């Protein structure tokens, strides 16, 4: 399996894993978006109103696979998604932390955009 195919599978598995979590205390809906052809992976949260209609949507995760690199565009969770990616086989030099808060020391170990 080549690197791109492997990374596509990893990103899709992460999005679908988190989309499967259904909090019992809220009627929110999760929308996983896995576009392998364009390398876009998102998990959106739809906040529902009392009538069951969507009122607002928020990105939970947004990952991009471009030029053999994985861009972590957004992570609005407490999960260490980068550590999960590394554990699943994405190489540190192929990770670009586009919108991710880590210390300068840690950031130096990752790829640059």
- Model confidence pTM above 0.75: yes
* pLDDT for the residue 100: 55
* pLDDT for the residue 25: 72
Place of tokens 């640059």: 112
Alpha-carbon distances of 74 from 13, 77, 80, rounded to whole Å: 17, 9, 12
Look at residue 104 and tell me whether its pLDDT is greater than 50: no
Rounded CA-CA distance 5/111 in Å is 20
Average pLDDT rounded to a whole number, residues 77-83 = 92
The domain segmentation of the chain, as residue ranges, is 3-107
Q: What architecture (CATH level 2) is domain 3-107? A: 2-Layer Sandwich (3.30)
- Provide the 8-state DSSP code for 97: -
Residue pair 74/59 in contact (Cβ under 8 Å)? The answer is yes
Instruction: For residue 107, give the 3-state DSSP assignment.
Output: helix
* pLDDT for the residue 74: 94
């Amino acid at each position: 399996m080549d690197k791109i195919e492997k990374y596509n599978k990893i990103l899709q598995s992460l999005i679908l894993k988190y989309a499967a979590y259904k909090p019992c205390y809220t009627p929110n809906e999760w929308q996983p978006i896995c576009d392998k052809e364009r390398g876009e992976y998102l998990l959106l949260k739809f906040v529902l109103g009392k009538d069951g209609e969507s009122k607002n949507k928020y990105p939970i995760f947004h990952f991009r696979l471009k030029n053999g690199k994985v861009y972590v565009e957004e992570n609005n969770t407490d999960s260490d998604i980068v550590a999960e990616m590394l554990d699943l086989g994405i190489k540190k030099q192929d990770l670009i932390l586009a919108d991710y808060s880590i210390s300068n020391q840690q950031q130096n170990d990752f790829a640059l955009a």
